[in-house]
Amino acid sequence: MPFSALLEKDFIGRNHELESLYDIHSEVKRGIATSIFLSGQRGIGKTELLKQLFQLLYWKQHEAVPFFYTVNPAFASVYDFSMDYLNKFIRQWLSFQKKDVSLIHANGLSTENLMHLAEKSDAHWAVDIIGNFLQVKTSADAAKLFFSAINTPYHSYLTTGMPVIVIIDNFQKTKEFYGPHSENNNNLWMLFEEVIKYRQAPHILTGSQTELQEMFFEKTSIGESLEFINLSGIDKSTSLKLFTSFCNSYGIAVDRELLSPFADLFNGNPFYIKNFIQTLRKEGKNLSADDLWNVYFNEITIGKFYTCWISQLRKHIPRLELRKVSLEILYHLCSRKTSTAPSNLANMFLISINDLNDIVNIFQTAGIIEMNFSSLKLTEDTILTNVIKGLYNKEILGNPADKIKEALLKERHIAADTHVKTVEPPLFEITIPNIPRAELIALNSLEQIAKSQNISPETIGQLQVALVDLFTNIMPQEKSSDDGNFYLKFKPDKDKFTIEIKTPYKELASLSSPDAIPENQLIKRYIDDIKLEETKSGIKIILTKELKKDTVSST
C-alpha cells in the first residue's frame, strides 16, 4: 500500500461512509460517477477513511484502478509534483493490475526506470504517456507539465478502457507550487477543474476543510461539479468503542464509565481520542477519574492538544503585534454561543476593521472560526475552547500554569456538581394563575416532574387524583375580583413526595380542616398527611405522600 492503514478490526464506526464511497466503483463502470469533496474537521478521520477505501478498491473489485495520492509539501515545485504524480500513478496502476504491492513501494524510481518498468510490463500506453511527459518537460511550460501529469489518469482510461478512481489527500497543498523559474504557480491547481469532470476518472478530494471550501467555492466554481460528503464526528457509543479499542491496543485498562465525559468533550473526533489514550498509556495501569482529568488538563495546557492548536495559531498569525489582540478576540468568542458581527469586535478591541478582517480571514483558513454570511463564531470544539482559555489565562492574565489547572479543574467540578445536584432532593416551584381549569396545569406539571424523578406511574396516578380532589375542594365557588396566583412547590425526596399549594384567598370552598375531609375521599386514601396553614394572603396546604421502595420505578 502507498501508506500504512489501520487493520480492518481497528477501523471503527465508519462502515456506512465506507460503503457509500466504495459504491463509486460500480458507478464508474456505468459512467455515472461524479467527483467528490470529502470535507470534515481536522482529525475527524478523512485520511483514514480514504486509506480504507483504497484498500477495498485495491483488493475487492476489478472495475476501476484506484490511485491514492497525498500531496506532499516537500514537493514545492511544479516539476517535482508532476513527476511524482505521474510516477506514482503508473506504479499504482501496474501494481493493481499485477496485484504486486511491492511496485507501489518502489519510491524514488527515476523516469528512465519507470519507462523501463512500463516496457517490461508491456504497458504501451504508459510508455507513450511517459514519453509524452518527457517531451512536455523540455518545453519548460509549467502549466503544460502540470496538466499533463494530472490528466494522466483520464489519459490512461482513453487508451486502456480501464476507469480510474483518483483519491487525493491534502489537496489544499496544490496551492503552494512554484514553477521552474521560481515564479509563483499558485493558480495551477485550478486546472484540476478540467480533469475532475470526467466520469471515467472521478476524483475524491480531501484535506483542510476550510481551505478547500475556499478553493472550490470562492476562488473557482469547481465545487459545483463536486458531490459533497461531510464527515461528522462519530457518535458517543462509537466513541466509547474507539476508546476501548485504543485502550486494548495500548494495553491499558480504564473503566468505561470514567471515559464517558471525555467521549463528550472530544465530540467524536478520533484524533483527540487516540492521542488522549496514547498519553494515558504513560500514566500507568489503574487510572482513577482524577488521573484522567489531570492528563486532560496537561494535554490542553502543555501537551499535544495544546501544541497542535498553538502551532496553528502561530503559523497563521505571523504578525506578532496582532497575536495578543487575536487571543483576546478568541477568548471573547469562547464565552459566546451566538455569532458576533465583525464590526462589533473591531470596536470592542480597538483595532481597525482592516486588521480585524486579516485576523478573521486567517482564523477562518485555520479552521478556528466559522464565518457565516455577516457574523462569525468559534468552531465548535471544546478542546480548542479550553486551549484558548488556558492560553489567555497564561499570557493575558499572567496566571501560572498550576493556577490555570486549578481553575479548569474547578470548572470541571462545577459541571460535575450540577450533576450531583439532581441527586439531592430537588425542588420545583411553579406559579399558576387562578383561572378555570388551573388544576390541569398543575396536574401536567406534577406528571412531568414526577416522571423526571422516576416516580412509578402508579404513584403518579395517585398523586394526580389527590391533587384534582384537592383543587375541587379549594377552588372558590365564585370568582373574586382579585384573581391572584396559586404557588405550588413539588418536593420529591427519597422516601416521600410533598406538594405544597398556596392559595391567593382565604375562604376555601369546602375544606376547613384536614379532619373535615371525609374518609371516603380519594385524597385521604392516597395522601398520608395533609396540613393546612393560614398565611398572610391565603392558605397553605401541604400534602405528603410516603413513597414505598417499590413505588420508585427502576428505569
Nearer to ligand ADP, 42 or 155 (CB): 42
Which option in ligand ADP, Mg ion, none does residue 175 bind, with CB closer than 5 to 8 A by kind? Answer: none
Phi, psi of 28, deg, nearest 5: -65, -35
Nearer to ligand ADP, 208 or 364 (CB): 208
Kindly state the smallest distance separating residue 296's Cβ from ligand ADP, in Å. Answer: 18
Nearer to Mg ion, 169 or 439 (CB): 169
> Would you state the cell numbers that stand for residue 266, as one nine-digit string?
472530544
Kindly state the smallest distance separating residue 394's Cβ from Mg ion, in Å. Answer: 29
Contact present, 368 and 378 (Cβ < 8 Å): yes
43-72: contacts with ligand ADP (CB under 6 A): 43-48
The residues with which 531 forms a beta bridge, in sequence order, are 542
Ranges of beta strands (E only) in 143-281 are 164-169, 203-205, 227-230
**Out of 42, 155, 173, 175, the residue judged to bind ligand ADP by CB under 6 A:** 42
How many positions of this chain bind ligand ADP (CB under 6 A)?
18
| 455 binds ligand ADP, rule: CB under 6 A | no
Kindly state the smallest distance separating residue 172's Cβ from Mg ion, in Å. Answer: 11
Q: What is the DSSP string of 266-291?
A: HTT-HHHHHHHHHHHHTT-SS--HHH
Nearer to ligand ADP, 235 or 550 (CB): 235
Kindly state the smallest distance separating residue 362's Cβ from Mg ion, in Å. Answer: 21
Nearer to ligand ADP, 38 or 442 (CB): 38
Kindly state the smallest distance separating residue 241's Cβ from Mg ion, in Å. Answer: 21
Which of 414, 412, 413, 442 has the alpha carbon at shortest distance from 430?
A: 442
Nearer to ligand ADP, 156 or 172 (CB): 172
Nearer to Mg ion, 47 or 92 (CB): 47
Question: Would you say how long the chain is, in residues?
Answer: 555
HEC string for 122-156:
CCHHHHHHHHHHHHHHHCCCHHHHHHHHHCHHHHH
Nearer to ligand ADP, 14 or 405 (CB): 14
Nearer to Mg ion, 106 or 229 (CB): 229
Kindly state the smallest distance separating residue 20's Cβ from ligand ADP, in Å. Answer: 15
| 351 binds ligand ADP, rule: CB under 6 A | no
Nearer to ligand ADP, 328 or 370 (CB): 370
| 173 binds ligand ADP, rule: CB under 6 A | no
Number of alpha carbons in the 13 Å side-chain half-sphere of residue 146: 23
| 14 binds ligand ADP, rule: CB under 6 A | yes
**Out of 13, 223, 303, 514, the residue judged to bind ligand ADP by CB under 6 A:** 13
CB atoms closer than 10 angstroms to residue 354: 9
**Out of 25, 35, 37, 40, the residue judged to bind ligand ADP by CB under 6 A:** 40
**Out of 2, 12, 293, 474, the residue judged to bind ligand ADP by CB under 6 A:** 12
Which option in ligand ADP, Mg ion, none does residue 42 bind, with CB closer than 5 to 8 A by kind? Answer: ligand ADP
SS3 (DSSP) at 548: coil
Looking only at the bridges linking them, the beta strands covering 496-502 and 539-546 are antiparallel
| Beta-carbon contacts of residue 235 (< 8 Å; ≥ 6 apart) | 13, 268
Distance CA 426, CA 417 (A): 14
Distance CA 300, CA 390 (A): 7
Segment near ligand ADP (CB under 6 A); pick from 38-46, 150-158, 184-192, 530-538? 38-46
HEC string for 48-76:
HHHHHHHHHHHHHCCCCEEEEEECCCCCC
Kindly state the smallest distance separating residue 266's Cβ from ligand ADP, in Å. Answer: 11
Kindly state the smallest distance separating residue 73's Cβ from ligand ADP, in Å. Answer: 15
Contact present, 226 and 34 (Cβ < 8 Å): yes
| 11 binds ligand ADP, rule: CB under 6 A | yes
Burial 460-473 (b: 16+ CB within 10 A, else e): bebbbbbbbbbbeb
Which option in Mg ion, ligand ADP, none does residue 40 bind, with CB closer than 5 to 8 A by kind? Answer: ligand ADP
Nearer to ligand ADP, 2 or 43 (CB): 43
Contact present, 171 and 205 (Cβ < 8 Å): yes
Distance CA 499, CA 490 (A): 5
Q: How far is CA 160 from CA 96, 134, 481, in A?
A: 14, 21, 93
Looking only at the bridges linking them, the beta strands covering 36-39 and 164-169 are unpaired
Which option in ligand ADP, Mg ion, none does residue 362 bind, with CB closer than 5 to 8 A by kind? Answer: none
Binding letters toward ligand ADP, positions 246-285, x by CB under 6 A: ------------------------xx--x-----------
**Out of 1, 3, 6, 236, the residue judged to bind ligand ADP by CB under 6 A:** 6
Kindly state the smallest distance separating residue 40's Cβ from ligand ADP, in Å. Answer: 6
Q: Closest-CB residue for Mg ion?
A: 47
> Would you state the cell numbers that stand for residue 536, as one nine-digit string?
398572610
* Torsional sign, CA 393, 398, 399, 401: positive
> Would you state the cell numbers that stand for residue 199, as one nine-digit string?
466520469
Kindly state the smallest distance separating residue 408's Cβ from ligand ADP, in Å. Answer: 25
**Contact footprint for Mg ion (CB under 5 A):** 47
Give, for 554, the enclosing helix (H) or strand (E).
none
Which option in ligand ADP, Mg ion, none does residue 6 bind, with CB closer than 5 to 8 A by kind? Answer: ligand ADP
> Would you state the cell numbers that stand for residue 311, as one nine-digit string?
502551532
Q: What is the DSSP string of 304-360?
A: HHHHHHHHHHHHH---HHHHHHHHHHHHHHHT-SS-B-HHHHHHHTT--HHHHHHHH
484-543: contacts with ligand ADP (CB under 6 A): none
Nearer to ligand ADP, 48 or 299 (CB): 48
Nearer to ligand ADP, 305 or 497 (CB): 305
Binding site for ligand ADP (CB under 6 A): 6, 10-14, 40, 42-48, 242, 270-271, 274
